[in-house]
Amino acid sequence: MHSALKRVVYPGSFDPVTNGHLDVIQRAATIFDEVIVAVARNAEKRALFSTEERMELLRQSTAHLEKVRVASFQGLLVNFAKEQGASAVVRGLRAISDFEFEFQMALMNRKLEPTLETLFLMPREEYTSLSSRVVKEIAQLGGQVAPFVPAPVLESLAKKFGSA
Ligand code: PNS
């Protein structure tokens, strides 16, 4: 039955998706029936990739995962999660440095929507220092990012920064 499906929303900027994000998506897919990867249409952050580009890169990078759906949202995350019938939000926690912001966000989201739980998943430790920001900086400066991102992202970064 439809309502019995356990759905989780994995929100983020995904500018662009990294292997660390993919690790979290895969872990969430082992727990939930459906993982909705939700790109925030957030004007506040200056993005390298447009929302549509970020969604397409996520789609290509998760094509092998049948439980995963890619979406975007505007406005409050809790409203989107509710609309989607999700029972939880998942976020990745790399290190203590992530904790303060994530804890604040989880508690605020709980105040806004007490029925929505936030779950944290820890990606593999080799991804502890990985972030979209660092990947973009390395790629822009001509460094190798192949170990950190899925193939479609590698190709798109090369196009953006005009390297091979
Ligand atoms: O990948 P990011 O940039 O860490 O993701 C942050 C994101 C998009 C999850 C967060 O900014 C968010 O949920 N934005 C939607 C607006 C919202 O609900 N704000 C209230 C959070 S307490």
Q: What is the pLDDT of residues 86-117, one digit of tens each?
A: 999 999 999 999 999 999 999 999 999 999 99
Q: Give the pTM.
A: 0.96
C-alpha of residue 24 to centroid of ligand 1, in Å: 17
Closest residue by Cα to atom 20, ligand 1, is 76
Q: Which of 163, 117, 112, 119 is nearest to 140 (CA)?
A: 163
Residue positions annotated with a catalytic role: 21, 45, 94, 132
Tell me which of 3.40.50.10470, 3.40.50.300, 3.30.750.24, 3.40.50.620 is the CATH number of domain 7-129: 3.40.50.620
Rounded Cα distance between 164 and 161, Å, is 9
Structure tokens at 128: 């502890």
Q: Is 147 exposed, middle or buried (0-12, 13-18, 19+ CB in 10 A)?
A: exposed
